[in-house]
Amino acid sequence: MEHIVAFAVLGIGAGLLTTVAGLGGGILMLLAVSLATDPKVALVATAPALLAGNLHRAFLFRGDVDRRVARAFALGAFPGSVLGGALLSRMPGRLVGIVMAAMTAVALLRVCKVVTFTPRARGITPVGFGIGALAGTSGGAGMLAGPFLMALGLGGASYVATAAVASVAMHLGRVLSYGLSGLLDGSTVRLSLLLLGAVLVGNSAGKWARRFIGPRLGTRIEVTTLVVASALGVFGLTR
């Protein structure tokens, strides 16, 4: 019962944070669940919950999706995550950490208008494939999508909505691979259903909270969450 309440609160917090800031809830949920269970169980159990949560978030913000970016990213992220999920082996943590740090730096420079660039769709797809593959093998590597999308110039509701669609592609591939591999058993499905329901509640709360957040404060929250969640992602991938 103690764990049930804790996981429910965790799911609500994850949905709220990601809906407000565009990212962060997934990595926090993954790391927290991994402390209470086996890391592999946490990776598998959180995947369906994150898939449903991002589907719900994409629906809530469907009018703000940057379709060009979302389509190009998903074309690479889905097959990449299927491949990564089938392997389910640790990628070199140091390499992932370096790439994550580099993408975060580029995103911050882009937000501060030090550098400006908009990659073509054909360049977004290969990046989506790589990020999807990393997300399938280590979960937290999906944090790379946030800095990349922010570096493209997305912000506010467009950033939240497009990140949700990108995450749907990655988590769909992960769930498919985990299911075909027999990793989704009764215990992981029950845990995932609990997290799923809580995340949906958190999503709705986050959408309500966004009404009181102006553009300037919203950008600060997005950037701060990006940096903190990326640091936690590096920790989770390298520990």
Q: pLDDT per residue over 67-84, tens digit each?
A: 999 999 999 989 988 887
| pTM of the model as a whole | 0.74
Q: What is the mean pLDDT of residues 1-11?
A: 73
- What is the residue-averaged pLDDT of the chain? 76
Residue numbers of the domain that contains 148:
2-238
- Write the CA distances from 39 to 5, 36, 102, 153, integer angstroms: 20, 9, 26, 34
Q: Are 150 and 110 in contact (CB under 8 A)?
A: yes
In whole angstroms, what is the distance from residue 47 CA to residue 71 CA? 21
The pLDDT tens digits of the residues spanning 180-213 come to 877 777 777 888 888 888 888 888 888 888 888 7
Positive or negative, the CA dihedral 101, 108, 211, 161 is negative
> What pLDDT score does 41 carry?
76
> What pLDDT score does 73 carry?
92
Number of domains making up the chain: 1
Single out the residue of 147, 144, 153, 142 nearest to residue 51, CA to CA. Answer: 142
Burial of 96 by CB count in 10 Å (0-12 exposed, 13-18 middle, 19+ buried)? buried
Residue type, 221: I
Q: What is the mean pLDDT of residues 28-46?
A: 75
Chain centroid to CA 223: how far?
15
pLDDT for 114 beyond 90? no
Q: What is the mean pLDDT of residues 103-128?
A: 68
Helices vs. strands in the chain: H and E counts, helices first: 10, 0
Half-sphere exposure of 198 (CA within 13 A, CB side): 22
Structure tokens at 25: 């809830």
